[in-house]
């Protein structure tokens, strides 16, 4: 199992990038009682048979990682949701993309901590490849309220790129300012 929800989101977002998605949307929503995330892409997608198989940790298509014998991202999502009174849903169409959503109860003692959203967003925005990513962050609690959106193309336009130490440091500062 992943140590944090952010690690789970990073793994599943990387799957979208590796599925040749050109547009990826990541939404993280936090309330007093639950934490949910949604990842949607326009990548290769999966047919109904493959969608059933990816729930098995010992299934892999063998294409992305020819020497790997397991595929753990979706099985970890399912396991984490099931063990924490959460829910999950995956919808995918071959050639059109995939949408997955998970909801976790924050009152369940086994729900992993969220982790560092600033680090997560910086990581998934700077994965190599040519793709657009749109991130939406919503937090609605008694003590804190946040609602912001980030576009990868706008960040690249402002920073020039997301590869050097300097640009990644500016990105970190920008993201942290949204989480203050």
The contacts of residue 127 (CB under 8 Å, 6+ apart) are 13, 14, 17
Tally the C-alpha atoms within 13 A of residue 16's C-alpha that lie toward its C-beta. 32
What does the pLDDT look like over 9-45, one tens digit per residue? 999 999 899 889 999 999 999 999 999 999 999 999 9
What's the whole-model pTM score? Answer: 0.89
Alpha-carbon distance of 96 to 44, in angstroms, equals 6
The answer to whether 73 touches 11, Cβ cutoff 8 Å, is: yes
pLDDT band with cut points at 50, 70 and 90 for residue 146: very high
pLDDT one-digit tens code per residue, 63-91: 554 444 334 578 888 889 999 999 999 99
Cα gap 22→32, rounded to integer Å: 34
- How far is 27 from 29, CA to CA, in rounded Å? 7
């Amino acid at each position: 199992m992943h140590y944090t929800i952010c690690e789970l989101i990073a793994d599943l977002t990387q799957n979208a990038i590796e599925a040749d998605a050109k547009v990826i949307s990541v939404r993280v929503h936090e309330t007093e009682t639950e934490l949910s995330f949604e990842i949607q892409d326009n990548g290769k997608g999966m047919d109904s048979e493959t969608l059933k198989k990816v729930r098995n940790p010992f299934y892999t298509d063998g294409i992305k990682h020819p020497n790997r014998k397991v595929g753990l991202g979706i099985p970890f999502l399912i396991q984490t949701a099931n063990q924490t009174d959460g829910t999950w849903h995956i919808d995918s169409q071959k050639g059109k993309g995939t949408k997955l959503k998970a909801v976790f109860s924050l009152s369940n003692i086994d729900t992993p901590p969220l982790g560092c959203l600033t680090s997560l967003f910086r990581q998934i925005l700077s994965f190599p490849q040519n793709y657009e990513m749109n991130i939406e962050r919503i937090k609605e609690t008694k003590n804190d309220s946040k609602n912001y959106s980030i576009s990868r193309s706008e960040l690249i336009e402002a920073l020039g790129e997301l590869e050097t130490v300097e640009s990644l440091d500016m990105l970190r500062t920008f993201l942290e300012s949204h989480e203050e």
